Amino acid sequence: MRVPLLIFQPATLAANPMFARVGKPFRHMFGNLQLALKKAEIDIHAEAYLGGAIVSALTWALVFGILMSSYFFFYKPDLVFAGAELALLPFFLFFLIHIYYPSIIANKISEDVNQNLLFALRDMLIQVSAGVSLFESIKNISRSGYGEFSRILRQVVTRVESGTDMLKALEDVAFCTNSEYLKKIIWQLVTTLYAGANLSVALNSIVHMLVDYNRNLIKSYTAELNFLILIYLLVAAVVPTIGMTVMIVFSVFGALEVSEMMFLGIVGFSFAVQMMLAGYMLIKRPHLY
């Protein structure tokens, strides 16, 4: 797995023990990093990745500091040392990007799993109801086009064929995935297999549960979206219009001096809030299909 903006990629970090020594003193500050790396399927120890993140952030900060110092040297010599101070900002920025990127990758994987999960489970239900064993249905779905879900099942099939117990392989998937849907479904399947209950009945109930859960998510998002759209319209149309009108009225009576910067400030504030609301709507949208 390649991590963007990380100068030394995970394979290089794992091969060089220097990075683990650099990251070891800071390991206790990022307790969830190892789990995030595992969920993102980045095969590297947290200490080595943390050391690589520090070295990479320092490198980016050094490049930025040299560029800024060069600019100040030629155009503002009295501020030449300010470039080194400004380099602290890109250091922390790139370091945080490196640290949180495994979680971003894990979330992307879980979103892809969620989008294909319902269709894959319906396929599995049809196969199991027709008399196909659970392992054979898992193998068939792993060869189908269900995106990340098929890829995860291919890992399960590989482990089972190499001698791992199927229940243990499924439990490991539940521990490593970032998808809450997949966790609940796997635990329900494992419980059914341990209890020796009818698998097709369990799959049928899981499919219906997932459909109902998706409907509730959509209803909840729709209700929230109505309120967000109202706020968006207020910020986009009502607030700038009324705000400018009030300023113009006050300026007529001499109570307020209206300037071009005030108009630009209102427009800029309105645009920034609109972008924030649009981004929030996009983040909160359920990724189901």
- pLDDT-derived band of residue 53, with 50, 70 and 90 as boundaries? very high
What is the rounded (10 degree) CA torsion for 178, 180, 186, 188?
160
For 227-238, the pLDDT digits (tens) are 888 888 888 888
**What residues have CB less than 8 Å from 60, skipping those under 6 apart?**
5, 7, 90, 91, 94
Within 10 angstroms of residue 258's Cβ, the number of other Cβ atoms is 14
For 264-286, the pLDDT digits (tens) are 777 788 888 888 888 778 777 77
For 121-148, the pLDDT digits (tens) are 889 889 988 888 888 999 999 988 888 8
CA distance 154 to 174: 15
What crossing angle do the helices spanning 199-233 and 180-195 adopt, rounded to 10°?
160
> Which of 106, 107, 97 has its CA nearest to residue 39?
106
The answer, yes or no, to whether residue 55 has pLDDT greater than 90, is: yes
User: What are the φ/ψ torsions at residue 145 (nearest 5 degrees)?
Assistant: -95, 60
Number of H helices, E strands in the chain: 13, 0
pTM, to two decimals: 0.68
> Which of 105, 9, 92 has its CA nearest to residue 49?
9
pLDDT, averaged across the chain: 83
For 157-211, the pLDDT digits (tens) are 999 989 888 888 888 888 888 888 888 888 888 888 888 888 888 888 888 888 8
The answer, yes or no, to whether residue 222 has pLDDT greater than 80, is: yes
What is the pLDDT, as a whole number, of residue 231?
A: 86
Q: Sign (positive/negative) of CA torsion 246, 251, 254, 260?
A: positive
CA distance 100 to 39: 12
Percent over 90 (pLDDT), the chain: 8
What is the pLDDT, as a whole number, of residue 181?
A: 82
Q: How many CA atoms lie within 13 A of 166 on its CB side?
A: 17
Do 143 and 149 meet the contact criterion of CB atoms below 8 Å apart? no
Tokens 């898992």 found at: 138
- pLDDT-derived band of residue 15, with 50, 70 and 90 as boundaries? confident
What is the pLDDT, as a whole number, of residue 1?
A: 67
CA distance 171 to 35: 15
Q: If phi over 0 gives left and psi between -120 and 50 gives alpha, with beta otherwise, what is residue 262? A: alpha
Within 10 angstroms of residue 178's Cβ, the number of other Cβ atoms is 20
Higher model confidence: residue 255 or residue 38?
38
